[in-house]
Amino acid sequence: MIPLADRMRPNSLLEYIGQKHILGDGKLLRKALDQKKLFSMILWGPPGVGKTTLARLIARESGCEFLEFSAVSTGIAEIKKVIAGLSGGLFSPIVFVDEIHRFNKAQQDAFLPLVESGKIILIGATTENPSFEIIAPLLSRARVFVLQQLSTNELKEVVTRALKDKISGFGNYDVLINDDALDFLIEGSSGDGRRLLNSLEIAVMVEMESDTAYENNKIVLTKEKIEEALQYRALGYDKGGEEHYNTISAFIKSMRASNIDASLYYLARMVEAGEDALFVARRMVIFASEDVGMAQSTALVVANEVFRACEVIGYPECAINLAHGVVYLASAPKDRRANDGFRAAQEDVRMFGNLPIPFKLRNAPTKLMKNEGYGKDYSMYGDPDLLPEKLKRKKYF
């Protein structure tokens, strides 16, 4: 049986839900479709926001031939062979490549002559940041459109359509969903329309097979039944992708701002998504010196002990050690002078190279070197002139 999420795909842009910021009146993509002046593009957005559906509708609206591939299961050679077999027509065919970021640089290079010559209109879909995953020459020949997670109201519209549609949805059944169940379904879907419809379908199908399914000839979906269908809230978190870096960035910045609640929240997101405990602990060790620094030097000791605890204990218990360390680091006073001073010194090294070291600081293992003045006049008691001549009196800390 075809899944509900596939059955409910819209047949026209009028039925398409979401992405008004790129499809609304007067927007670039909308105008291009109205004028049938298409161009290659990259659709970038999280799962379940309608990237594949939009590509299909663009082809339908434009009247272009549509070839659909997935970078997971199809190689470049196969794609080029299919393209070579095209008979040609009034409009260039649209070649849609799902998860295009999975093609390596050489594979992506193969699209360049096809796009540049106008032989194809390439539409690539990706959940990863194109700046990092798509080669620059291809990006320069394509327009990037950022698709957003579906809003609460948009997800409610998706549910309403699915429950009312008598052909593709559950319109032939009397299905009611409680308000708290609907809210829980939407919250648990994390803006992912596919996940929402899959969970809704599971909940309805389970109820249909249940001996106690009908209440007054109705299928009633409660919060508990939706929760069972959702099972586990699959967080949008790819350990090698953008959300990974966004989350660790938010985590570090929250500790830096001494916001304990936000720090614990972003820690929880990483833990729940299965992030490597040692990765988190390693960043905490860095933070202890970089941000807490001289304000509380014992922070480095605590962070190292958290790392060691994670190494020895592992999940799930070491999450408690991480939480302990996070609260300590977020609560600690901050002093970045050691880090900032070191970075400033690095800049001078890069700018001026290896400046001559003052003679008084040089090692003097031989008599000749002593006679040359190596080590002469060195004093360990507060001598201010120990930097190279060009940097004399420079203050880093």
What does the pLDDT look like over 83-100, one tens digit per residue?
A: 888 766 678 999 999 999
Choose one of 96, 127, 146: the last residue of a domain: 146
The partner residues of 95 in beta bridges, in order of sequence, read 67, 122
What's the CA gap between 169 and 128, in Å, rounded? 31
Give the strands of the sheet with 94-98, arranged side by side. Answer: 66-70, 94-98, 121-126, 41-44, 143-146
- Same-domain pairing of 189 and 76: no
**pLDDT greater at residue 382 or residue 114:** 114
Overall number of domains in the chain? 4
- Same-domain pairing of 58 and 112: yes
Assign residue 28 the CATH number of its domain: 3.40.50.300
- Same-domain pairing of 29 and 134: yes
How high is the pLDDT of residue 239? 63
- Same-domain pairing of 326 and 341: no
Domain presence at residue 174: yes
How high is the pLDDT of residue 368? 84
Choose one of 230, 264, 299: the last residue of a domain: 230
Strand 214-215 and strand 218-221: pairing?
Answer: antiparallel
Domain presence at residue 2: no
- Residue 316: cis peptide before it, omega within 30 degrees of 0: yes
CB 92 within 8 A of CB 55: no
- Same-domain pairing of 179 and 214: yes
**Which pTM was predicted?**
0.70
Across the range 101-109, mean pLDDT stands at: 91
**pLDDT greater at residue 274 or residue 65:** 65
Q: What is the largest CA-CA distance in the chain?
A: 106
- Same-domain pairing of 103 and 175: no
Choose one of 286, 314, 331: the last residue of a domain: 331
Across the range 288-304, mean pLDDT stands at: 97
How high is the pLDDT of residue 177? 95
- Same-domain pairing of 50 and 100: yes
How high is the pLDDT of residue 241? 66
Domain presence at residue 135: yes
Residue 214, pLDDT > 60, answer no
The phi-psi region of residue 229 (left if phi > 0; otherwise alpha if psi is between -120 and 50; otherwise beta) is: alpha
What's the CA gap between 123 and 121, in Å, rounded? 7
- Same-domain pairing of 28 and 116: yes
How high is the pLDDT of residue 231? 72
- Same-domain pairing of 304 and 353: no
Residue 221, pLDDT > 70, answer yes
- Same-domain pairing of 184 and 157: yes
- Same-domain pairing of 134 and 175: no
How high is the pLDDT of residue 236? 62
Domain of 364? 337-391
Domain presence at residue 237: no
pLDDT in tens, 55-65: 999 999 998 99
Angle at 204 between CA 201 and CA 210, to 5 degrees: 140
**pLDDT greater at residue 365 or residue 1:** 365
